[in-house]
Structure 1
Amino acid sequence: MPSIEPEDWRHDRIRAAIEGRNPTVLAELAAAYAVIGDVQFLPGYALALTKTPGVDRLSDLPRPERLRFLADVDLLADAVEAVCRRRDPRFRRVNIEILGNTDAFLHCHIWPRYEWEPAAIVGHPVWGYDPLHWRDPAHALGPAHNALRADLTAEVLQRRDSEEFRFDPPDLERGA
């Protein structure tokens, strides 16, 4: 595995997004950055990264901020589903996961799933793929994904700017 230099954007993906150095950012949302995944063995894989540095888990956020983050996850998942459904007739569904077992920052995986996946994996979490599959250079994000990236960005921005996906959490302090 290649070493990560301290100034490498992957060392602190959230700070890099805030500073405009994270090349995977598709769009800035209310509480998250929508990003395309570093690997694309399931085309359309994306993540929502919290915009709040130092937040390790969803429960670290005050409830209104949790709801904003989850609304952004919903927006991104809807955009991924729309793009993947248009691009591949064998699109199956979207899986949404907040795990936090490896990376100590709040993020949510949006995994498109396809009928063409191996039968032993298609009905199970993506973590069942062989670890070598994840590191295969053929699946690394790169210029071959520019059209997919453009489609995802357009869908995310359309939703972000629409009334349908506008979200104002209730003022939980006043019981509204």
Structure 2
Amino acid sequence: MGAKKSSSLYWSLFSYENWKMYIAATNDGLCFVGSQNQPFEELVKWANHYLPGNDLIRDDEKLQSFADELVHYFQGKLNRFTIPIFYRGTPFQEAVWKALCDIPYGQTCSYSDIAQQIQKPTAVRAVGRAIGTNPILITVPCHRVIGKNGSLTGYRGGMEMKTRLLELERGFANIQLV
């Protein structure tokens, strides 16, 4: 999860039941999970901004292990991802994204909880901005962050996707996963 530059960015269209999204990885790990039913241009725009100079290469086989874990997640058979992930942001963003990975499956926390966890209790709005730029939806579970009053708040993938992910996790949360 460092700042190593890759020369290729591999992508695939992940599709399982009614879930469709573009995913991408460098040689260092999964670096992008797109929004539900968004066009390929979402990935291109993100790649040009955050990983400029990388060639976008479709490689379904190279991304199969990432797709497999996403399928297991959607089937309720996986509550913690083991695939390597690669993200690059400011130290603050990376601290926020790491904290998101600590939110237990099927549970939620608030933006202020994340600010407290990273020891920046007054940076609640900055935490929100960092969460909004999380490039790896689902595997870096920003959908688990809600408002302090328990309300659902913004999500890069859209509120419908956030709601569906939370409902999915709540439905499987009490099942013992292997």
TM-score (norm 2): 0.25
Larger Rg: 1
What TM-score do you get using the length of structure 1 for normalisation? Answer: 0.25
